[in-house]
Every structure is written in C-alpha cells, then in structure tokens.
Structure 1
C-alpha cells in the first residue's frame, strides 16, 4: 500500500507526464509528431521542410504532390518511404497510415478548404497555412470538419509565435504606454516583374491583400486586442495589364470599439515593413515586423524588442505539436483565421463599393 508521501510523489509524476512531453535520459523528447506536407512548392521546399529538421517535436515523414518528378528528390533528401508518398487523388488513404499524425496544407489559398477538409476526414490533425481560406464560408467548413473528426486545427500565423510579437500582443492587454490611439501596419515588396503564378489568379485566392495584407490585418487585431467594428478601403494598380484580376496595392482603415484606428497598407509595388503603435503616453514599433528573421523594434522609453530565435517556422510547428502532445489549446486556432478572412472579404467589398462596411 502506498503511504501518503509516495502517493503524492507518484501522482505528481503522472500529472507531470500528462502536461509535458516525456524525454529520454539525454533530455530529448521521446515522442515526435509525424508531419505530412501537402503541396511541395517554394514555401514547403525552401522553408518548411528545412525548418522541420530543426524542430524538437516534429518529424517530416510524408508528402502529397501532384508532380511526380519531385518525389525522388524529396525521398532522398528526407528519407521518406514509398508508403508515405501520396498524390492529391490518393491523399484520403492517409487515414490508414499510422506513420502520419499531422497534415500541413501548403497549397494555394483557394484550395485550402478542399484539402484541409480532406485531411480532417482522414482523422489527422490539420495545420493550414495562412490565409486560412478564400472565404468565410470555406473557413467555417474547415473548422466544422476538424470538430466533427475531433482533430486539432492550427493556422500558420508564424508571427504569433515570435517572441517580440508576443510582447506586442501582451501589451494590448497591459497597455504600458497608455491607451492605444492609432496603429499603422504596412507590408510590401517592390516586385518589378511578377511571375504568372497562382498569386495573380483570383480563383485560386491570389491577390496582395490575401498574400501579404493579411499580415498587416492580423497585426492590427493582435496589437489592439480588439475586433474592428467597421472598415473602409481602396485598391489601385499601376500595372493593370498584370494586375487585371487581383490587387497590386490595398489601403484599409479599421475602427475599433475603444476608438483606436488602424491604418493598413500592402503592396507588391513598394517596399515597406513596419508596425507602429501610437499611445497616450508613448509609442512602440517593430520594423521589420513580419519577415522570416530579424524582427526587432523599440519603444519611446528606450526599451528594445530584440529577442532572437533561430527559426520562426520551427518555433511555430513545435508550439503546435506540443498542443497536440499535451492536449492543450492551440495558439492560433481556426477561429483566429476566420476572423481575418471575414474582414478581408469586407475590405474587398468596401474598396469596390467605395463605402464604409460595418463588421
């Protein structure tokens, strides 16, 4: 029979094991989640796959691709077995594969819903790249599918995992510089010769607001800690022959319940990369605020925001993996993704109608 001391000690060990991943004698996690990437385009091949090699709690074990010629290279580089290779028509068979725990959707935005729902129906946890989908209805369909199949859903907003950004998110609640008055969030690149990819295809979810502007929009929301009540917007292009389906530049203004105003701008005709927050008793900024590395900033009192991490995507995927291993809430759930897309749709409507849209 256990005495009281042993009972407490043993119970504590059980509780600890349920909250933190078990490790071996060297401190390495004994459980890693097996991840399958869906779509082997640039972001998967040059960013996510290398980042997975730097995670603590993830392992790349599967791929889904519509390009057979890519398969040998991926298998050789990452040791992916034949039974873990799928195309889009056979992807549903992952349901019978115990070597895959998570399916990460990295296809064009307009296809996110189709394959995220297919992943959920396979009974696997779903990581969906941002933006979550093209429409609010598609976002809701993904959320519903994951709930029905009792799998976790995380949206790939890497910035919400980045430590300097986490400080800005915390300041939305603590307000160390007083009430927030205005937010300026700008992201853009001077793309002189845009390639004819899906990003210029409206049907596939292309458009600068979807691709880049969602960073500025999400930043306005997490910086204020509020949901906007109205939006106005305008869109323009200097190259109408190229941007005949999608926006080249979008300006939007959000009004929040507290009275704070956010001015957002995104473009592929101008380079810019700053988040600036003006408060009653000071200001703070991140510049750049959403690049893959080098995020840094400062505040009016001299405080520096300069915590460095080696790889944002590795941090993001480890955080998401831990939520699955420990069965805790994910940091960026589907409900976060759908809020942005609801506003993105309103931005396009406001720009088209040249009117203020209530949210």
Structure 2
C-alpha cells in the first residue's frame, strides 16, 4: 500500500490538464515572501457547518483559523476562546469591510446562508482578500458571474467548497475514467438527500436558501454527474414532487432531473429533503462500472468497481480541502477544479433545472 502522500501525488498527476481551472495563478502580496507558510483564514458565518470546518482544520498543516466574522456576539466570544483568536481579528457584518486593513488575514471562508453568498463574496473581494465560498455559489448564474468578475478585478482568488475534489476515492474514480478503465461511459445514476429537521431553519426559507433540496444536496448529484462523464450537459429535464406542502411551502422538497451530454450519455439524478438513505453514485461504461455509497457525505467514502474495492485512503475532507487550497495560494500552484468557474457551471445547470420545472418538465437546452 502506498503512503497517502504518494497516492495523492499520483492522483494529481493522473488528473492532467482537464482538472485544472483556467483561473490565473496569482502571486498576491498577501502571501508573498511569507516565512510561516500557513494560510491565515477567517470564517464568515459561525453556524453548523462552520463548526465542522473549524474542527477539521485543526488537522491542517498549511492553513489555520485566525479570525471570525459573525452577527452574533456570543458566538464570537465562544470562537475566540476555542481557537485563540485575538480581538483585532473579529468582525461583525457591519464592520467586515475593515478587514482590508488587517494584514494578518489572507482568506475569508464564507459559510453564510446561500442567498447571502453573493453579497458577502463581493464584500470580501472589495477588501482585497482571497475567498472560498460554500456551495451553491449563489442563487443563480448571473450572481455567480458577478462574483467571479469582482474577484478577478480585485486580483484575489475565488474558490468554492467542493471538498470532494480533494477526496481520494473521488479522485481515483476520476483517474480511472480519464485513463479509460471504464471504457466509453454509457450511463450515470446519482442521488443525494436526507430528511430535514427543524421546519423553522433557514434552509426552508427561500429568501435565505435560494431554493430547497436542489440548491443544497442536488449540487452533489449534478457535480458528480459532470465528473463521472467528464462532459458538460447540453440539456435538462426536471420534475418536482412535494408531499408536505406546509413544511416545503417556500422551497422544493424532492426533485428528479435528467442531464443530456454531448456524447449521448444520459444521467438520472435526484435530490430530496424528505427521506433518508438516498445517497449514491453509479457509473456504467462499456468496459466496467463503479458504485460509490456513501458518495457525497463527510466520510468515509466507500466504493466498488468492476476491478474490486475502490482503494484510497480516508482523509478529513475539510482539512484536505483547506490544505490543498493553501498549497495553491502559498506556493503559486495551478488551481484545482474548485474555482468560481466550477461553481458557475453547476449554477447554469441548476437554473435550467428550475426552468424545466416551471415549464412542466420541458427539455431545456443549456445556454452556457
């Protein structure tokens, strides 16, 4: 068995140019001539997933939490104590613009509700800091384009939290597909979902979430179909079902959608907020197949192919992601496929999914 480092180096080489973004490498003054070689990160939005990220980052070698941004003073106090954050690195949503004057923060990780991503990324870009934003990148493709443009104008890097693009089992699946080990890809089935709890939470409010299951877990099914095929969809059909119109009054409950690709591949995908035990990826090719389940959670990821068990090391997803991004920024390396442009590609398809639903399942040809 190879070491984890050997494995990741092999996978990185195997991905080739297709997995690298066209987003330009930047030697930003924030991180040039640094001696400590650690990316200094502030977390914006201190909710449930922020706590998972922070816990995971305790395993990071190249990134560390040094600041927080929150509208809740009690949360700031808790995080200050837990992560030894100095007062000068704490901000609220009214003072966040002042972060531009703080040389001790390199990057801000935006983990606020979906519909606030657009506003907050624009603020961080204007402050001259690199930014990583949780997915979905925004409410729609128009906002995503504006966010990309703002970061390019400010000469800062813009990443999306696609942690699976750093996850070894997922990367091995992509390597096998790129190496032709499955042969011509014929079909893909991807599903993601869970039974959502508290009916008063922000994920069920359209003004904060932008949508329901499609925006939250549907992006996993969609992004998975794209990396299973190595192609971009050219059309979409979609259907929505709603069994609880009270709880899901404002957002979608369950959506199934089909993606058509240039080679003729069709991917059947689905997402839900109303039942558990629905997570999996299946790829079928002329020469072989792969089935990954769990495929999209925080780990461990498990899979099988026509060759046997999908062999790869288990890692802390959040730590692996942040170390990978830190390596790109600190060492001026090419960006992996997690930039704002990757988020935009998913958002264009999500827009088409919702358009198809509005048009009673009509086939929508995707306008890039």
Quick check: TM above 0.5? yes
Shift of 1:294: 1.3
Is 1:147 the counterpart of 2:147? The answer is no
Is 1:31 the counterpart of 2:52? The answer is no
Give the secondary-structure state (helix, strand or coil) at the position aligned to 1:159.
helix
Q: Which has the higher contact order (CA 8 A, sep 6+)?
A: 2
Distance (Å, rounded) in 2 between the aligned partners of 1:53 and 1:244: 39
Is 1:290 the counterpart of 2:296? The answer is yes
- Report the equivalent of 2:207: 203
Distance (Å, rounded) in 1 between the aligned partners of 2:195 and 2:93: 34
Say whether the 8 Å CA contact 2:279–2:295 is kept in structure 1: yes
Give ranges in structure 1 of 5+ residues lacking alignment: 1-17, 23-28
Distance (Å, rounded) in 1 between the aligned partners of 2:348 and 2:207: 17
Is 1:277 the counterpart of 2:256? The answer is no
Say whether the 8 Å CA contact 1:64–1:85 is kept in structure 2: yes
Is 1:343 the counterpart of 2:359? The answer is no
* Alignment counterpart, residue 157 of structure 1, candidates 162, 167, 175: 162
Q: Which whole-Å deviations, capped at 9, do the CAs of 1:42-68 have from their partners, x for residues lacking one?
A: 1112x0111121100111110000001
- Report the equivalent of 2:22: none
Distance (Å, rounded) in 2 between the aligned partners of 1:203 and 1:36: 25
Give the secondary-structure state (helix, strand or coil) at the position aligned to 2:298.
coil
Is 1:72 the counterpart of 2:77? The answer is yes
The structure having more radius of gyration, on CA atoms, is 1
Instruction: Give aligned pairs, total.
Output: 331
Q: Which whole-Å deviations, capped at 9, do the CAs of 1:237-271 have from their partners, x for residues lacking one?
A: 11001111111100000000011110001112222
Distance (Å, rounded) in 1 between the aligned partners of 2:173 and 2:68: 36
- Report the equivalent of 2:113: 108
Give the secondary-structure state (helix, strand or coil) at the position aligned to 1:190.
coil
C-alpha RMSD of matched pairs (Å)? 1.6
Calculate the TM-score normalised by the size of structure 2: 0.87
Give ranges in structure 2 of 5+ residues lacking alignment: 1-26
Superposed, which structure 2 residues align to 1:14-25 within 5 Å? none
Distance (Å, rounded) in 1 between the aligned partners of 2:255 and 2:283: 20
- Report the equivalent of 1:250: 255
Distance (Å, rounded) in 2 between the aligned partners of 1:321 and 1:294: 23
Give the secondary-structure state (helix, strand or coil) at the position aligned to 2:42.
strand
Is 1:119 the counterpart of 2:160? The answer is no
Shift of 1:155: 0.6
- Report the equivalent of 1:235: 240
Q: 170-179 or 324-333, which moves further after superposition?
A: 170-179
Distance (Å, rounded) in 1 between the aligned partners of 2:311 and 2:182: 18
Q: 278-287 or 219-228, which moves further after superposition?
A: 278-287
Q: Which whole-Å deviations, capped at 9, do the CAs of 1:279-317 have from their partners, x for residues lacking one?
A: 112211111101101101011232x21423331010001
Give structure 1 regions of 4+ aligned residues with deviation exceeding 6 angstroms: none
Q: Which whole-Å deviations, capped at 9, do the CAs of 1:104-147 have from their partners, x for residues lacking one?
A: 10001101010111111111111111111111111111101110
- Report the equivalent of 1:166: 171
Distance (Å, rounded) in 2 between the aligned partners of 1:270 and 1:172: 31
Distance (Å, rounded) in 2 between the aligned partners of 1:137 and 1:53: 35
Say whether the 8 Å CA contact 2:356–2:364 is kept in structure 1: yes
Give the secondary-structure state (helix, strand or coil) at the position aligned to 2:304.
strand
